[in-house]
């Protein structure tokens, strides 16, 4: 079992309300229990084929995917429910209870983030943290202090191991 | 009673008495009336003057707040935790505080430009007099931003003083609203942000009009000369004088001294940041050769200093690193500060003789000097550089580590990851260190283009490893090859150019203007700029450059060894590449849009900002890109574009501006305007979708640019061209046809020609549109009609009477 809760050091920004560190088995179960989960995938997955594989594996569990940046290029023709959207727009729409979602099926309750630039996602999460009541789960390599729950800072190989464990628990 | 005029008057009977009349109440209106110019409803608007227009924009493009910090620590009531949109002790909530924070940044940026403008205006009036005419090229509308905002049609340098009075007064009023216990509504802070941005473009315009008129800079010249750019173009065997900043006022004295004393071939004069751009514009309007070289952007400052190449550094204002003096001292490089905005604690030597200053600095009695007298500066800087060159050579100054030291330093690394975590782009420094132990320095080379040279890695390292120096040393071969060409800033787009191209822009047959502006804080290196510009130029967009982006674009060459400045012509026509100039030249980009409304569409421009902005919003397909935006000035420039309805995309680092303006395409009611012919409501396409947003990568950016150039006024040919580019770019960079392409289709002639039949089938099968297959016509389905006579407007009062 991978412990993803040890290193939660932050380097730049500050807030009193911080993410709780979470282990992959707990995160996986949380995704499994969510009524309307959404996996938000960023372009950083394209830098590592194994991250693409993990993304597809999570999506194949029936989780719809919001593909931000140009991450959609790795997901077309992969038989997953993925749609392109700009992450800043997505952050805006997620705060609108009248938004019907990417598939018209209604608002989401749990949003999972993978494959984003740390500083960029930090800002998107800051908006979601302060202006929505969504559960935001960061399964990134870095501790995302503005999420609701987040993995800690991880080495790349440990991160991949943690994602495997998370997938097993969905 | 005869009319009074401004100016100086003497009274015969009174000796030593002179009366000066500076301003006359109602003078703007009177002068306009005499000239037959109609002044619109808002000359010199106050903070609330354009509030209704702002509210119109903000109802479609809602503020999106992404706080950098959850606290407010402005006053001693706090610190207050505002998380979850809580109120602080003063009653302000998170939304309003974020809007206030954004406003502070915008007016800081606007003040930087306006302060620059006032400084150079004073300087030039001192040299050339108030009556010096403004000469910027073959245009009647010479100050479009100024005229649209203030109603003033300036003709002389003296006229610009009144414009600056207005800008400064308004900036003071805006700054006052930041204070605790002032504005409490986010929406009104937002309106103030747009006001600050608008003022910024006036301040920038004044700066550039004054310097173009007096300093022999190119005047709307598409043949402005090409200029050498890059760290590799500096001949370090000669004495090297490096200038950093944005305000070329004092630097022109240095250039004159070098020219007058025949020192051009005996030393190198090179610049960093926008002073560099303006140095290369100086005295080139008659076809002369540029007298300086450009090193590059802010991202090259620390690298250039640490290379040890400069013999003297002169700084003026804006985007100058705060540690220039400390870094220079380590390498025995004297620093001269020349502007009150940056003085570094140095002694004011403005009244001392050049010889005394040179003696003190060359013997290291003092590390530098503040020189505000530009005649003294003109002599000291080049003579000191010549002297220091010999002294520093004899001292054997060693700047960068040797290869052996590179390996030793790599071995010192304990792989703690602090540098990577602190790096703004989380660059893979640890991997470079690991490879460096085995004398493989290629991974440091890889970092060179991606690194913005902020030096935070050095600060973070617990082992005091000079990471930045290691990157620079390992990249010496690349740096030597960094030689490019940039077109010198040509100034504004002239009236005749607008007459020629305006119709194509409004109808969409020229698919759009992509303005690539701003600083060098790129998320993934500088080459991305080249890729974006080249792709859009190939597709016949007009690409306009300015500031640091203009410089970095000149650093890259295609397979034929050409930069884009050599490859593409520089007229204001489809498929042309224009460099308007330095940071303050950004005003010419908004000025161009205003000119299209005023010249092509014959809209009254004076004091008629709302109507002009409304015209631009609905008709001119222009998108700004500040891919490496880092500064407060970039925030104010973008806000000024936004008030005119021009959308701006910033790179992912721009999310740290903490606020965007994004629309909701799924809310149909937000995408309606009036038809000014009869006041009826008409649906419009959801474009631009935003006024300010971020993109994650250039692959995402490219289709965004094409899509957000679509405007309600496009004719069928124009819409077809724009839609073709949007769909092709989505396919090329995102690997799929965009989901929303059909929402921009009004009639079959809007469809990309090569795929018309295929797309008609999709419209029928997937969207239930009714198609007449015999005539290949759309019978029903689109939510919008195609009507080129429609007059889209967001402003009810602009509809015909009775609406």
Tokens 């019978």, residue located = B779
Is there a single domain that holds both residue B492 and residue B444?
no
- Alpha-carbon Rg for chain B in angstroms: 27
Q: Which residues of A touch B656 (CB under 8 A)?
A: 119, 123
Percentage of residues in chain A having pLDDT higher than 70:
98
Is there a single domain that holds both residue B501 and residue B545?
yes
Percentage of residues in chain B having pLDDT higher than 70:
98
Tokens read off for B601: 């569409």
Q: What is the 3-class SS of B720-734, one letter each residue?
A: HHHHHHHHHHHHHHH
CATH code: domain of residue B148 = 1.10.8.190
Task: Inspect the interface and report whether the beta carbons of A11 and B421 lie closer than 8 Å.
Answer: yes
Q: Which residues of B touch A113 (CB under 8 A)?
A: none
Assigned domain for B18 exists = no
Give the pLDDT band of residue A9 (cuts 50, 70, 90). confident
Tokens 């800072």, residue located = A153
pLDDT, position A13: 62
- Mean pLDDT value across residues B527-538: 97
Is there a single domain that holds both residue B374 and residue B419?
no
- Mean pLDDT value across residues B552-566: 95
* A130: nearest CA partner in chain B: B84
Cα B338 from Cα B316, distance rounded (Å) = 5
| Final residue before a domain boundary, out of B395, B420, B448 | B395
Quote the strand ranges of B443-583, DSSP E: 484-487, 513-516, 542-546, 577-581
Is there a single domain that holds both residue B203 and residue B90?
yes
Residue B562 near residue B571, CB atoms below 8 Å: no
Is there a single domain that holds both residue B264 and residue B297?
yes
Cα A32 from Cα B667, distance rounded (Å) = 31
Picking from B609, B698, B601, the residue whose alpha carbon sits closest to that of residue B645 is: B609
Is there a single domain that holds both residue B533 and residue B637?
yes
Cα B555 from Cα B732, distance rounded (Å) = 25
Cα A165 from Cα B115, distance rounded (Å) = 58
Least trusted range by pLDDT, from B498-507, B699-708, B722-731? B498-507
Residue B1 has pLDDT above 50, yes or no: no
Chain segment B464-489, per-residue pLDDT in tens: 999 999 999 999 999 999 999 999 99
Q: In chain A, how many H helices and how many E strands?
A: 5, 7
DSSP letter at B246 equals S
Residue A16 has pLDDT above 90, yes or no: no
Tokens 């703690």, residue located = B416
Residue A59 near residue B668, CB atoms below 8 Å: no
Cα B152 from Cα B511, distance rounded (Å) = 33
HSE-up (13 A, CA, CB side) for residue B323: 12
Q: How close, in Å, is residue A9 to chain B by CA atoms?
A: 10
Helices of type H across B74-185: 94-128, 144-150, 157-176
Residue B22 has pLDDT above 80, yes or no: no
Chain segment B643-661, per-residue pLDDT in tens: 999 999 999 999 999 999 9
Is there a single domain that holds both residue B421 and residue B532?
no
Q: Which residues contact B3 (CB under 8 A, 6 or more apart)?
A: none
Tokens 């409490």, residue located = B184
Q: In chain B, how many H helices and how many E strands?
A: 29, 25
The annotated binding site of B for [Ni-4Fe-4S] cluster is made up of 246, 274, 319, 519, 548, 583
Residue B498 near residue B572, CB atoms below 8 Å: yes
Assigned domain for B574 exists = yes
DSSP letter at B739 equals T
Is there a single domain that holds both residue B71 and residue B175?
yes
Helix/strand/coil percentages in chain B, nearest 5? 45, 15, 40
Assigned domain for B714 exists = yes
Task: Inspect the interface and report whether the beta carbons of B736 and A13 lie closer than 8 Å.
Answer: no
B84 interfaces chain A, CB cutoff of 8 Å: yes
Chain segment B198-236, per-residue pLDDT in tens: 999 999 999 999 999 999 999 999 999 999 999 999 999
Chain segment B750-787, per-residue pLDDT in tens: 999 999 999 999 999 999 999 999 999 999 999 999 99
Is there a single domain that holds both residue B389 and residue B408?
no
Is there a single domain that holds both residue B458 and residue B391?
no
Tokens read off for B570: 């520089």
| Final residue before a domain boundary, out of B187, B214, B241 | B214
Task: Inspect the interface and report whether the beta carbons of B700 and A117 lie closer than 8 Å.
Answer: no
Average pLDDT, whole number, for chain A? 95
Cα B121 from Cα B139, distance rounded (Å) = 21
Superfamily of domain A20-168: TPP-binding domain (3.40.50.1220)
Chain segment B403-451, per-residue pLDDT in tens: 999 999 999 999 998 999 889 999 999 999 999 999 999 999 999 999 9
B531 interfaces chain A, CB cutoff of 8 Å: no
Q: Indicate the residue of A15, A117, A127 with minimum beta-carbon distance to B523.
A: A117
Q: Number of residue pairs across A and B with CB atoms under 8 Å?
A: 139
Is there a single domain that holds both residue B612 and residue B717?
yes
Coil, strand or helix at B20: strand
Cα A41 from Cα A49, distance rounded (Å) = 14
Picking from B249, B218, B245, B295, the residue whose alpha carbon sits closest to that of residue B489 is: B218
Tokens read off for B102: 């954004």
This prediction's pTM = 0.96
Cα B356 from Cα B58, distance rounded (Å) = 59
Residue B117 has pLDDT above 80, yes or no: yes
Q: How close, in Å, is residue B425 to chain A by CA atoms?
A: 8
Q: Which residues contact B285 (CB under 8 A, 6 or more apart)?
A: B216, B217, B218, B219, B221
- Mean pLDDT value across residues B103-119: 98
The annotated binding site of B for [4Fe-4S] cluster is made up of 69, 72-73, 75, 80, 90, 413, 416, 419, 423, 451, 454, 457, 461
Domain count along chain B: 4
Average pLDDT, whole number, for chain B? 95
Tokens 């390498």, residue located = B331
Q: How far is CA B707 from CA B687, B723, B740, in A?
A: 7, 7, 10
**Virtual torsion, Cα B393, B394, B400, B401, nearest 10 deg:** 150
ipTM of predicted assembly, 2 dp: 0.97
pLDDT, position B801: 64
Q: Which of residues 412-451 of B touch A (CB under 8 A)?
A: 417, 421-422, 424-426
pLDDT, position B62: 98
Question: Domain limits at B335?
Answer: 226-395
DSSP letter at B520 equals B
Q: Where are the domains of chain A?
A: 20-168
Is there a single domain that holds both residue B433 and residue B358?
no
| Final residue before a domain boundary, out of B338, B361, B395 | B395
Q: How far is CA B123 from CA B126, B127, B285, B743, in A?
A: 5, 6, 20, 54
B747 interfaces chain A, CB cutoff of 8 Å: no
């Amino acid at each position: 079992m991978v412990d993803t809760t040890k290193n939660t050091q932050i380097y730049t920004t500050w807030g009193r309300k911080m993410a709780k560190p979470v282990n992959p088995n707990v995160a996986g179960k949380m995704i499994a229990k969510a009524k309307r989960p959404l996996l938000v995938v960023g372009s950083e997955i394209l830098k590592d084929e194994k991250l693409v594989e993990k993304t597809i594996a999570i999506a194949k569990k029936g989780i719809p995917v919001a593909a931000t940046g140009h991450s959609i290029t790795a997901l077309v023709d992969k038989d997953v429910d993925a749609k392109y959207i700009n992450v800043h727009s997505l952050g805006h729409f997620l705060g609108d209870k009248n938004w019907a979602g990417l598939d018209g099926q209604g608002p989401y309750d749990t949003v999972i983030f993978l494959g984003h630039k740390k500083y960029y996602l930090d800002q998107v999460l800051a908006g979601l943290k302060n202006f929505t009541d969504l559960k935001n789960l960061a399964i990134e390599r870095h501790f995302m202090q503005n999420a609701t729950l987040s993995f800690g800072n991880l080495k790349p190989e440990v991160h991949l191991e943690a994602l495997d464990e998370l997938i097993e628990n969905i | 009673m005869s009319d009074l005029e401004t100016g100086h008057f003497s009274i015969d009977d009174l000796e030593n008495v002179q009366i000066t009349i500076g301003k006359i109440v109602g003078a703007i209106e009177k002068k306009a009336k005499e000239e037959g110019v109609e002044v619109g409803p808002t000359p010199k608007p106050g903070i609330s003057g354009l509030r209704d227009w702002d509210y119109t924009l903000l109802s479609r493009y809602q503020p999106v707040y992404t706080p950098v910090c959850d606290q407010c620590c402005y006053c001693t009531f706090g610190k207050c935790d505002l998380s979850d949109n809580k109120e602080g002790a003063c009653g302000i909530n998170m939304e309003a505080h974020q809007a206030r924070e954004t406003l502070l940044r915008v007016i800081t940026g606007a003040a930087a430009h306006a302060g620059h403008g006032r400084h150079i205006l004073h300087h030039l009036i001192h040299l050339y007099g108030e009556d010096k005419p403004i000469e910027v090229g073959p245009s009647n509308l010479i100050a479009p931003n100024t005229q649209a905002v203030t109603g003033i049609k300036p003709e002389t340098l003296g006229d610009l003083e009144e414009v600056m009075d207005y800008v400064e007064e308004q900036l003071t009023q805006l700054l006052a609203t930041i204070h605790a216990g002032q504005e409490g509504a986010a929406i009104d802070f937002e309106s103030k942000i747009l006001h600050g941005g608008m003022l910024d473009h006036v301040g920038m315009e004044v700066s550039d009009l004054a310097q173009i008129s007096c300093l022999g800079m190119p005047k709307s010249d598409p043949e402005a000369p090409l200029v050498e750019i890059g760290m590799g173009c500096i001949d370090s065997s000669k004495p090297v004088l490096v200038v950093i900043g944005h305000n070329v006022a004092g630097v022109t004295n240095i250039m004159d001294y070098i020219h007058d004393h025949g020192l051009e071939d005996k030393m190198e004069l090179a610049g960093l940041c926008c002073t560099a751009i303006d140095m290369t514009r100086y005295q080139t309007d008659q076809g002369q050769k540029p007298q300086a070289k450009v090193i590059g952007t802010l991202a090259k400052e620390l690298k250039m200093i640490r290379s040890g190449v400069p013999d003297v550094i002169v700084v003026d204002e804006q985007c100058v690193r705060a540690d220039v003096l400390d870094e220079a001292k380590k390498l025995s490089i004297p620093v001269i500060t020349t502007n009150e905005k940056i003085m570094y604690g140095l002694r004011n030597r403005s009244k001392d003789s050049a010889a005394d200053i040179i003696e003190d600095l060359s013997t290291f009695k003092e590390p530098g000097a503040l020189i505000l007298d530009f005649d003294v500066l003109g002599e000291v800087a080049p003579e000191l550089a010549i002297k220091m060159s010999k002294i520093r050579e004899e001292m054997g100054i060693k700047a960068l580590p040797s290869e052996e030291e590179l390996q030793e330093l790599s071995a010192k690394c304990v792989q703690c990851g602090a540098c990577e975590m602190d790096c703004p782009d989380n660059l893979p420094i640890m991997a470079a260190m690991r490879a460096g132990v085995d004398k493989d320095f290629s991974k440091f080379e890889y970092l060179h283009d991606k690194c913005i040279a902020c030096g935070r890695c050095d600060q973070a390292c617990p082992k005091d490893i000079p990471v930045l120096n290691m990157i620079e040393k390992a990249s010496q071969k690349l740096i030597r090859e960094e030689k490019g060409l940039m077109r010198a800033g040509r100034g504004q787009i002239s009236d005749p150019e607008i007459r020629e191209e305006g119709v194509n822009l409004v109808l969409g047959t020229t698919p759009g203007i992509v303005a690539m502006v701003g600083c060098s804080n790129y998320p993934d290196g500088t080459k991305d700029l080249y890729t974006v510009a080249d792709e859009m130029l190939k597709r016949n967009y007009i690409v306009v450059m300015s500031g640091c982006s203009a410089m970095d674009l000149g650093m890259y060459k295609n397979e034929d060894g050409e930069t884009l400045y050599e490859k593409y012509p520089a007229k204001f026509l489809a498929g042309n590449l224009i460099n308007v100039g330095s940071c303050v030249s950004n005003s010419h980009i908004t000025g161009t849009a205003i000119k299209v409304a005023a010249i092509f569409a014959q809209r009254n421009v004076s004091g008629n900002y709302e109507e002009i902005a409304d015209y631009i919003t609905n008709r001119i397909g222009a998108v700004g890109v500040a891919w490496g935006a880092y500064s407060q000035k970039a925030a104010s420039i973008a806000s000024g574009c936004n008030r005119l309805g021009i959308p701006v995309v910033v790179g992912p680092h721009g999310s740290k501006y903490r606020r965007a303006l994004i629309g909701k395409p799924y809310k149909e009611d937000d995408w309606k305007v009036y038809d000014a012919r009869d006041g009826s409501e008409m649906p419009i396409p959801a474009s631009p979708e935003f006024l300010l947003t971020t993109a994650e990568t250039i692959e995402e950016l490219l289709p965004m640019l094409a899509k957000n150039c679509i405007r309600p006024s496009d004719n069928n040919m124009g819409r077809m061209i724009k839609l073709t580019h949007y769909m092709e770019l989505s396919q090329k960079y995102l690997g799929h046809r965009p989901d929303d392409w059909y929402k921009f289709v009004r009639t079959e002639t809007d469809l990309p020609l090569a795929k018309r039949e295929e797309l008609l089938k999709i419209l029928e099968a997937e969207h239930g549109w009714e198609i007449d297959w015999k005539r290949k016509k759309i019978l029903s389905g689109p939510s919008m009609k195609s009507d080129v006579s429609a007059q889209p407007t967001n402003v009810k009062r602009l509809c015909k009477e009775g609406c």
